Amino acid sequence: MKLNRLISVFALMALMIAASVTYAANKADIHTTAQFQGPKANTGTAMHTYENGKSILRVSDDFKVPDTPAPTWRIVDSKGVIYTLDAFKIKGGEKRMVVVPSYVSNIAKVQVYCAWAEVLLGEAPFSSAVK
């Protein structure tokens, strides 16, 4: 009986260690941009992480969504290819997080773009492209 209990304790400890290693690896996978710079989007930063196998971008709490007709998420890869994603403003609130499509190979910059006026409102680069 004591041997079974001892094995259970060791198994539980192994699970706890594995979980903390996974958490540390996930925490290390968070990449943050420089501050947004632009005529309308010039506060806060963007953060990239992987959650449940998905590439996720979020803006920081101090980021202010520009008061323009159609502020939109855009990303630019290391080759300069631009991907227009979702609108920041949605019915009933703001979309402060976006899932990056799987066909995007890397992200060099995060941009805020006004889809209505077709003008760049601000951008925030990563120090190196995030994959």
What's the pTM value of the predicted model, to 2 decimals? 0.77
Is residue 2 pLDDT above 80, yes or no? no
Is residue 101 pLDDT above 80, yes or no? yes
Same domain, 9 and 48: no
For the record, the structure tokens of 8 come out as 């259970």
Residue in this structure with the two tokens 């979020």, named with its chain if needed:
58
Same domain, 38 and 84: yes
Rounded distance between C-alpha atoms, residue 74 and residue 52, angstroms: 22
Rounded distance between C-alpha atoms, residue 57 and residue 51, angstroms: 10
Per-residue pLDDT at 27:
47
- State the CATH number of the domain containing residue 45: 2.60.40.10
Is residue 19 pLDDT above 70, yes or no? no
Same domain, 108 and 51: yes
For the record, the structure tokens of 68 come out as 């323009």
Is residue 126 pLDDT above 70, yes or no? yes
The mean pLDDT of 58-83, rounded to a whole number, is 97
The mean pLDDT of 27-44, rounded to a whole number, is 91
Is residue 112 pLDDT above 60, yes or no? yes
Same domain, 19 and 38: no
The parent domain of residue 58 ranges over 33-130
Is residue 84 pLDDT above 50, yes or no? yes
Same domain, 55 and 68: yes
Same domain, 57 and 20: no
Per-residue pLDDT at 10:
52
Domain total for the chain? 2
Same domain, 57 and 88: yes
